[in-house]
Amino acid sequence: MKKWNYCRYSVRRAFTLVELLVVIAIIGALVALLLPAVQAAREAARRMQCQNNLKQMGLALQNYHSAYRHFPLSVYGADKSGINSTTGFPESEEQGYGWSVALLPHLELNPLYEQINPDWKPSPFLVAFYQTGKIIPAGESEISVFRCPSSAMPSHVPNVFSALEAPQYQNTRDFPVPEHMVGYATSDYRACAGAQDSAGGIPGNGMFATSSELKKVSGKSFVRMKDVTDGLSNTIALGESAYVIGQEPSKWPVWIGGVEEDESAHFETKNQNIINCGISPKSVENFGLATDDACAFSWHDGGAYFCFGDASVHFVNETIDFQTYRYLGNIDDGNLISDVQF
């Protein structure tokens, strides 16, 4: 008699709605737990890159000093203010190629430096800088060492402040940017001019004061290592200034140079210019709302990174004592500040 083999097939039960919701809830909880850790790891990497940028610039400063026996100026401007009879443009010690141009050969960016071919005179700079629709050669080149990866600032100067076409900019002021500024690559770092206060008649006494300010203090046009009697490790050279200046639309921080002392060139450490310019919270919604033009600013929580004269990089807390911050910006005030104070 023939036997029949019957195969038993198991029937798989589908997920119930409750089980599915439980799985989704577990996944959501895991994401909620892991996302802050991932974001923190990314910000840590960005901070490390920011420190490395400043370290490279600090070493470039050392190499520049070895070659020329002095540090560069914040801006290579004229000896005196006035109208140039040839160009018709105003000239002052606050207008010209910036310190960052001088560092290009020492940052392994000599091809860019050769494109610019600066003669360090303000007249050719101003003629080129004020030409609407034309950019100084290499001026549109975004240089990674001059950009903090945490910064929300655009890589190039836009046509209009609110024309960045991002929803987060809706609360910012809508004002046109001078046409000659449009297209230039921006920078998140500036040089330290010290605790100068032009309105208060206090001359600059930092490593990167303008030539006229330096002459008021020491009679010299450049700062040398031996002039930094407070010690290179106690004096700020460069720092983060990664924000869009709110007082004047013409003061976008561009790396190639400046037409204002506090535009692309430098920040100050006078009392009212404490780190982050009074902006709270630090977000793109508050772009352009800084309480001052010439202060340090970063997109890192709690403070900003600074490169000191010895090329060391330190994170300075935004709650630093005003007077301590002032001392760190000056080269020879006789007040030695240890890192435990900031």
Tell me the per-residue pLDDT of 168-187, one tens digit each, with 9 for 90 and over: 444 444 455 667 777 888 88
CA dihedral over 193, 75, 66, 113, signed as positive or negative? positive
pLDDT, average across residues 304-308: 94
pLDDT digits (tens, 9 = 90+) for 250-261: 567 788 876 544
Tokens 């772009």 belong to: 287
Q: Which among 211, 189, 201, 219 has a CA at the least distance from the CA of 299?
A: 189
Say if residue 34 is exposed, middle or buried (CB neighbours under 10 Å; 0-12, 13-18, 19+).
exposed
pLDDT higher than 70, residue 301: yes
Closest CA to 100 of 14, 185, 160: 185
% of the chain beyond a pLDDT of 70: 61
Scan for tokens 């202060």, then name that residue.
295
Looking at residue 105, what is its pLDDT?
A: 93
- Predicted confidence (pLDDT) per residue in 196-220, tens digit: 655 444 556 788 876 555 555 555 5
Instruction: Confirm if 306 and 320 have CB atoms less than 8 A apart.
Output: no
Q: How far apart are CA 214 and CA 122, in angstroms?
A: 18
Look at residue 287 and tell me whether its pLDDT is greater than 70: no
CA dist., res. 134 & res. 112, Å (int)? 17
CA 276 – CA 300 distance, rounded (Å): 10
pLDDT for the residue numbered 168? 42
Rounded distance between C-alpha atoms, residue 296 and residue 270, angstroms: 11
- State the Cα–Cα distance between residues 148 and 55, nearest whole angstrom: 13
Q: How buried is 140 (Cβ within 10 angstroms: 0-12 exposed, 13-18 middle, 19+ buried)?
A: middle
pLDDT number for residue 155: 86
φ and ψ of 54, to 5 deg: -65, -35
Average pLDDT, the chain: 74
Q: Encoding tokens for residue 342? A: 């900031």
What's the pLDDT band for 132 if we cut at 50, 70, 90?
A: low
User: What does the block give as tokens for 43?
Assistant: 């910000």
- Per mean pLDDT, which range of 66-75, 116-125, 288-297 is the poorest? 288-297
How high is the pLDDT of residue 85?
A: 53
- Cα distance between residue 300 and residue 340, in whole Å: 20
Is the pLDDT at 24 greater than 70? The verdict is yes
**Using CA atoms, how far apart are residues 195 and 244, in angstroms rounded to an integer?**
21
Residues 160-165 have a mean pLDDT of 46
* Residue 65, pLDDT above cutoff 80: yes
Q: Domain extents for the chain?
A: 17-341
